[in-house]
Structure 1
């Protein structure tokens, strides 16, 4: 008598809610992002209300906080690939904690200056670049490959939660304690994030050491960019992300003017609209893993852009009164789009790239994609002045929606799910 073995089924992917190391990492990063959102409000308020800074000085403060993404992102990728990621992340968090902590100390000593605020913003910007590149490279060492998309979705939610909770919390804290004391929250959040990293139990893989002498810095930097541009899918994802960032920044650059001067909202109503729009990212981030499993881990990349991008066309249709809801729905849909799309495309990049090249690839992609942000902001100001605010928003909304065509007309259109490629292939 013969017996037939029962059919085997693939084991279900373990829930990240019960993954101790990931939850530790996620909790620490959520607190850190929330603290940073508090400082996003508190530090400019210190410059304006305490130091009586000029408009140009405050704009330099904003520029100092973004400059490192253009200046050091590419070499940061090389350095990240050469180091233990967790050790580097802990160091960056401690430096940011100390730097932010100097602001209230100098304030109470009566020695605070704009030069110090610029220096702190620039130093924190450099540390943020290194931390974020290392963070994306470290995640595959914490969770399984089939958990990456869900993990990136939850991490995308962190930013949206931080913006909603952090800015609201920051406003309340500034009103009660003053802007300088409120900055202590951000310094403490970086310290907590550093501790959370030290509590992760799973060991990090050894850093690969190449045989023979190391290539020159320029050659190592170009290796990450070359991998992205040679890959038939990654280069389309970079183009889509850059296009998305340019046109979305046009909308963000004009949002406050549009809400106040065209839709006739009060400052309190503007704050509510911005918070409601960001809340869409929370829902999108939490649902991204489930949607990707249903739609397909590869297919969701272009479906998210084309399937939700059209909602941005509602933004320029808003009018004073009840039709302000068009703006709310459009921006909520866009926030959900960004959370779902980013979780999927980052997971794709993490699985397609050899681990020893991931830092350089991540830094190269971020250099291009984040470099698009100031271009979009300037473009928004120019077009808004030349054509008008509403007309410019129509163009920007079409640009956001059309960004999905880059990935639709790529090999992704014929794929449902993606699987890791053998190391070294592109």
Structure 2
């Protein structure tokens, strides 16, 4: 693997791996604290959930503008420090017997805002840190870390909450951001863009420039459209899937948990094999096929459940888990590979805002469709949307892309064999396309 000796990437990867596990603790601990200790209910838990998505929906384009104007690594360091202090305030307030629901809301909101700024900067900085030719490997390793955290982190978080209590367990998450911060501090690579300081160009003009790049480049426009539609369908399907498992298949929580655990395992397998699959099918065909298979999985949930019940659900979940990371990894890597580095923040921020907006709308629409059309009809529409999203790529240059754009990686100061060109020179012109 090209990144095996890239010490700066390995530091980033380690910090993000630890932080991903911490995220799963707070994902469970904050609602548990609200319900068990503060006597909250469904409304309070719903507000906490909304505060995870809203900052991306509302602030990601602004975060992208900031990431294009200032040092992305510095933004990430500030975001980690802020999340460490915000989450660390909860166990401190708990120890002083002064924690309130308003305090929990403020912490969740601050963490959401800082996470939006961190994610946009991190996605914008990665191509510069490792070079465009290493993006698939880098995104695959980072996706594997997230997938392992999904599979293991929630269970470990539950055990930690059981052992220490929700408020004290949040301390562990706060400390993971401190680990991520230290990992960023010891990374030796710095921004090499021509200007990362104050600019005379107006914010409005820069936002327009980013939108022009996103919607003017046919590759980026095709990826944007497909990603939004696929995520809209997937969110609708996810909202209905768990209800179908309980109310139609009459499964127990243990069986549902087992099915989702199987999906998590296949997410890891799919991430590991994603690069192999694209070498066989090409990047463009992989994106189309994975979106179509994902949508078909939601459509087949009722069929699999009717034929084999619990076993059928497991098979469908395995298929969904296997193809999802392949689509995500290659969409992200391709966007990073063809976007000019100086506009990466604005392009990523706008795209993330739309994707999270699609997720928010999808969850709501899935529930509404389930009530109006029934669970089977709702799942069929959700699956059809994801399939349509994948098929839209056939009308864009994306379907013809054979492999990721090339480019030289920035020199790693700790690895003598790391090449040393500036990946900011990569552009859409480097994309290799063919029949």
2:179 aligned residue = 192
After superposition, what is the alpha-carbon deviation per residue over 1:240-277, rounded to whole angstroms, capped at 9, x for unaligned?
11111111111221233222111112222222222222
Give the 5 Å matches for 1:16-35: 16-35=3-22
Q: Is the 8 A contact 1:262 1:320 kept in 2?
A: no
Say which SS state the counterpart of residue 208 (structure 1) adopts: coil
1:401 aligned residue = 387
After superposition, what is the alpha-carbon deviation per residue over 1:9-28, rounded to whole angstroms, capped at 9, x for unaligned?
xxxxx532333222221111
Tell me by how many angstroms 1:114 deviates: 0.8
After superposition, what is the alpha-carbon deviation per residue over 1:142-166, rounded to whole angstroms, capped at 9, x for unaligned?
2132111111122122221111111
1:59 to 31, 46, 50: 46
Q: Is the 8 A contact 1:312 1:401 kept in 2?
A: no
Say which SS state the counterpart of residue 4 (structure 2) adopts: helix
Q: Is the 8 A contact 2:91 2:168 kept in 1?
A: yes
Q: Is the 8 A contact 1:41 1:167 kept in 2?
A: yes
**TM-score for both structures, normalised by structure 1:** 0.91
Say which SS state the counterpart of residue 233 (structure 1) adopts: helix
After superposition, what is the alpha-carbon deviation per residue over 1:115-173, rounded to whole angstroms, capped at 9, x for unaligned?
01110011001111110011111111221321111111221222211111110101111
After superposition, what is the alpha-carbon deviation per residue over 1:75-107, rounded to whole angstroms, capped at 9, x for unaligned?
111101111111111110111011111111111
Distance 1:168 1:311 in 2: 26
Say which SS state the counterpart of residue 110 (structure 1) adopts: coil
Number of corresponding residues: 412
2:107 aligned residue = 120
Distance 1:407 1:273 in 2: 31
Query: What 5-or-longer segments of structure 2 have no aligned partner?
Result: 408-424, 430-435
Q: Is the 8 A contact 1:225 1:365 kept in 2?
A: no
Asked whether 1:230 is paired with 2:216, we answer yes
Distance 2:230 2:240 in 1: 16
Give the 5 Å matches for 1:13-412: 14-208=1-195, 214-307=200-293, 309-319=295-305, 322-412=308-398
**TM-score for both structures, normalised by structure 2:** 0.89
Distance 1:213 1:34 in 2: 37
Distance 1:214 1:411 in 2: 35
Distance 1:81 1:243 in 2: 27
Say which SS state the counterpart of residue 223 (structure 2) adopts: helix
Which has the larger displacement, 328-337 or 108-117?
A: 328-337
Tell me by how many angstroms 1:308 deviates: 5.0
1:417 aligned residue = 403
Change (3 A) 1:18 1:256: same
Say which SS state the counterpart of residue 35 (structure 2) adopts: helix
Distance 2:427 2:402 in 1: 23
Distance 1:320 1:232 in 2: 42
Q: Is the 8 A contact 1:42 1:182 kept in 2?
A: yes
Distance 1:20 1:346 in 2: 22
Tell me by how many angstroms 1:206 deviates: 4.0
Distance 1:128 1:182 in 2: 20
Change (3 A) 1:333 1:216: same
Tell me by how many angstroms 1:37 deviates: 0.8
2:413 aligned residue = none
Distance 2:9 2:199 in 1: 36
1:6 aligned residue = none
Q: Is the 8 A contact 2:24 2:157 kept in 1?
A: yes
Q: Is the 8 A contact 1:237 1:407 kept in 2?
A: yes
The RMSD of aligned alpha carbons is 2.2
Change (3 A) 1:265 1:336: same
Q: Is the 8 A contact 2:294 2:324 kept in 1?
A: no
Say which SS state the counterpart of residue 202 (structure 1) adopts: coil
After superposition, what is the alpha-carbon deviation per residue over 1:329-379, rounded to whole angstroms, capped at 9, x for unaligned?
222222332211121111111121111100000001111111111111111
Q: Is the 8 A contact 2:71 2:196 kept in 1?
A: no
Which has the larger displacement, 406-415 or 70-79?
A: 406-415
Say which SS state the counterpart of residue 15 (structure 1) adopts: coil
